[in-house]
Structure 1
């Protein structure tokens, strides 16, 4: 699916006033302990210059934030996962709020728009970021408590600059956004819907040496605006805790990523995150995000992590990179790489890198033997094509055999030890069940035919076949989460759908060309067939 080139400056510069009002209280977490696992706030982050904020909207508390006054960004926000379905709710709001109490503790506990604030401009600037800091820059206002995780008043309350940090647009809108969507789906199905309570803490590591600049050359002539006020974080992280009455269902894990275009996202245990954050924040003592690390070694946590990784593989259409990757043409990898479900690769050496995973290998010889073993034992569908000679050090390395897709044109996984190839016929195909059911496979990228307006691809014999882009969505029209091994697709039908559990229950999916929305009506709907046929009501 193609990505549109967006004008970051226009997006950051165009704001209008939101007439609502947000309330917050600064100075204590007493009234928002419910957002902390075991009522214990994260330890080791506070300094003499941080402020504790219980974020309050419409006389109710919604989450907690530790705000760094000199850096003018939050160090972390603690929250819980809200209702996964928010039908009819706007995804974004145009106006962000400021917190007068950060300048004057005796001020009213109302967080308001800057236009409604009784503080002067200098007073607003004194201890927090304000809207003009993000104008005419190339940075997004990146939520820590994600607006997509919340509904209604909880959703509105996230749009405060005390919950925002400057994020690289590619990192925020691609890498971190995909991670948040996958995380929400997994926590809904594996924690919230089975009696658990998901606690989350998302934070940002301030960077003294880099502050938001303004785009353009004539800085001095721009509205008497001061510059370099707001710290651009080096890293963004999220710690997840599913608290459950049954200790076998309790689990935790964490993510940390670099706030840049070519970002590395690591999936690590909470105790490892604590150690890493202590180093990054340069804290004088230990860091503890969750009390007792919330069962980070549980079997359930490992199962959820496995499902998370698989969903991320499918979502990003994984690009397997390693010391050989620079020798393989990017266009060929983009065309041939679909997913990876490795059982032999060392998970501790695996990182999500941009739109792929990087695997660390200590020596070339180890890498060669490891990948030969991986190709023989794992279901890589496909991974790497062939090696080109590029350096004398690789002259004696035998080329790897080329691997083909393990997913058919309409989305079925190949079974019975078959994979997508000709297998005696002119077209590419594979078996999809033990009953000898089979399906065509794509030999080229699955794209939209501009004449028919349906997804089609070549099947290898000069003919074309209908197809569906694999892994384009993991959510059905009613907001249910697709089974991790069965994302939305055609699967031989005329409409898009997916299984939602192991009992073969299923639901429709929106067409990848027509996402859920109002589309000129007063209700949410989308087409489930191409081109623009058979619509259904849907939930965002």
Structure 2
């Protein structure tokens, strides 16, 4: 498999230094130091960051809700990390938001509603806006899904475009949604302590774009870490704790070496299959595609 150094594309034309202080308020963009609670053992994934990336503590209504690693040049997150807390009210419509500090490090440290026709050039250069998705063939795919959060504020916070990647509808409302529901049911039934989830993307080797602005991922991936779980696991789930992972197709025409296609799947979802796998297998694919070692969870969630 051809290697692709994601950090190279994020370094083009970027200046690092978004962790400055503004008006004596700690910046929410530039460091995960304020939101390490969303990572197992307070340690973010290794091998997925580096110069040119923006670490975002996703802050809404003066509270942190999850963390995202963002690439301004690609105008998409590389991953989002959160603590699972499924339940609460069903999904409802909220205003889409953006991250002011990606455009201006001195801006307020809160995500804000994004105007339907954003014209601020600093925002347009630093992140995706609603216009990017209009009349495209892609839906707005959550990396930290609102269905994996219980509190209304957590759900609302997931509707920031810095948590969104272009995702085909057949994946978003098909096999990927099945995976999210499956993981939620499993963690509710058997996880007895905090469950940490990291969901991210595998880019194309040769980047593809919406409107020459927003990078489209070839695959989505997700992994959970549940250090404390019931000892009375069904035999069929013995290999899925303390951690397990999956990769989902976002392109019907991608080769089948990573995720095979089920020829018996419905036409609307065929080609958007999801393959479940051990964490080590996922990290192997990440290593091959990104060109370096990757550890999603410190000490493999042990």
TM-score, length basis structure 2: 0.77
d(CA) in 2 for partners of 1:168 and 1:244? 35
d(CA) in 2 for partners of 1:201 and 1:157? 16
Residue 400 of structure 1 is matched in structure 2 by none
d(CA) in 2 for partners of 1:248 and 1:290? 24
d(CA) in 2 for partners of 1:204 and 1:211? 14
Residue 242 of structure 2 is matched in structure 1 by 251
Q: For structure 2, list consecutive stretches of 5 or more residues without a partner in the other structure.
A: 1-26, 234-240, 253-270
- Is contact 1:237-1:254 (8 Å) kept? yes
Aligned match of 1:289 in 265, 287, 296? 296
Q: Does 1:241 align with 2:225?
A: yes
Shift of 1:115: 3.2
Rg comparison, structure with higher value = 1
d(CA) in 2 for partners of 1:140 and 1:271? 30
Aligned match of 1:39 in 36, 42, 45? 42
d(CA) in 2 for partners of 1:116 and 1:28? 29
1:393-412 equivalences in 2 (<5 Å)? none
d(CA) in 2 for partners of 1:260 and 1:33? 33
Cα pair distance change 1:210/1:116, threshold 3 Å: closer
- Is contact 1:243-1:251 (8 Å) kept? yes
d(CA) in 1 for partners of 2:297 and 2:104? 31
The secondary structure found in structure 1 opposite 2:80 is strand
Residue 51 of structure 2 is matched in structure 1 by 48
The secondary structure found in structure 1 opposite 2:174 is helix
Residue 269 of structure 1 is matched in structure 2 by 278
Cα pair distance change 1:233/1:116, threshold 3 Å: closer
Q: Does 1:199 align with 2:202?
A: no
d(CA) in 1 for partners of 2:34 and 2:58? 10
Cα pair distance change 1:30/1:116, threshold 3 Å: farther
The secondary structure found in structure 2 opposite 1:235 is strand
Residue 160 of structure 1 is matched in structure 2 by 160
Q: For structure 1, list consecutive stretches of 5 or more residues without a partner in the other structure.
A: 1-23, 213-226, 296-540
d(CA) in 2 for partners of 1:102 and 1:240? 28
d(CA) in 2 for partners of 1:231 and 1:256? 18
Residue 131 of structure 1 is matched in structure 2 by 130
d(CA) in 2 for partners of 1:248 and 1:49? 45
Residue 188 of structure 2 is matched in structure 1 by 188
- Is contact 2:62-2:110 (8 Å) kept? no
The superposition leaves residues 514-534 of structure 1 with CA deviations (integer Å, 9 ceiling, x where unpaired) of xxxxxxxxxxxxxxxxxxxxx
Shift of 1:232: 0.6
Cα pair distance change 1:256/1:245, threshold 3 Å: closer
Q: Does 1:146 align with 2:130?
A: no
TM-score, length basis structure 1: 0.44
Cα pair distance change 1:157/1:77, threshold 3 Å: same
The secondary structure found in structure 2 opposite 1:165 is strand
Residue 4 of structure 2 is matched in structure 1 by none
Shift of 1:141: 0.2
The superposition leaves residues 418-459 of structure 1 with CA deviations (integer Å, 9 ceiling, x where unpaired) of xxxxxxxxxxxxxxxxxxxxxxxxxxxxxxxxxxxxxxxxxx
The secondary structure found in structure 1 opposite 2:225 is strand
How many residues in Structure 1 have an aligned counterpart in Structure 2? 250
1:336-375 equivalences in 2 (<5 Å)? none
- Is contact 1:93-1:159 (8 Å) kept? no
Residue 303 of structure 1 is matched in structure 2 by none
d(CA) in 2 for partners of 1:50 and 1:286? 17
Q: Does 1:106 align with 2:69?
A: no
Residue 174 of structure 1 is matched in structure 2 by 174
- Is contact 1:71-1:206 (8 Å) kept? no
- Is contact 2:56-2:70 (8 Å) kept? yes
Cα pair distance change 1:28/1:47, threshold 3 Å: same
Cα pair distance change 1:263/1:116, threshold 3 Å: closer
- Is contact 2:190-2:230 (8 Å) kept? no
The secondary structure found in structure 1 opposite 2:186 is helix
d(CA) in 2 for partners of 1:273 and 1:263? 17
Shift of 1:159: 0.3
The secondary structure found in structure 2 opposite 1:110 is coil
Residue 229 of structure 1 is matched in structure 2 by 213
Aligned match of 2:209 in 208, 211, 219? 211
Shift of 1:247: 8.9
